[in-house]
Amino acid sequence: MMMKHYCLALDLVDDPALIAEYENWHKKENGWPEITKSITDSGITDMKIYRTGNRLFMIMETDDSFSFDHKAAMDNANPKVKEWEQLMWKFQQPMPWAKNGEKWILMDKIFQL
């Protein structure tokens, strides 16, 4: 089985109180188990999110079963994921180059050692 890595970026609303609340939602003890399950069920084996200022950077490690289309279809059929995503929009803002309704933007790898 081959692991793939994807890197994505998203901006938060540039408000320290909202950023703190967003980070609080992402603490292990505050996460929703249904969201964790939806992530792992889609073929994502590891996920990390980093922040600088109001910019977020996500690294996903996936197995061969993962595809963005399949993940989107799963999310669309899951009321709890839809509820979570709606809640998160309070804190997030689309990047200037995002398509309508697009949140996390897939980044292009431009260098590898």
Residues 16-55 have pLDDT tens digits of 999 999 999 999 999 999 999 999 999 999 999 999 999 9
At residue 47, the 3 state secondary structure works out as: strand
pTM listed for this prediction: 0.91
CATH number of 4-106: 3.30.70.1090
Give the model's confidence band at 2: pLDDT under 50 very low, under 70 low, under 90 confident, else very high: confident
Domain ranges of the chain: 4-106
Read off the DSSP letter of residue 109. Answer: P
Beta strands in the chain (DSSP E): 4-12, 44-52, 55-62, 92-93, 105-106
Q: Which pair of tokens denotes residue 111?
A: 């260098």
51: left (phi over 0), alpha (psi -120 to 50) or beta: beta
Q: Angle of helix 79-88 relative to helix 33-41, nearest 10 degrees? A: 110
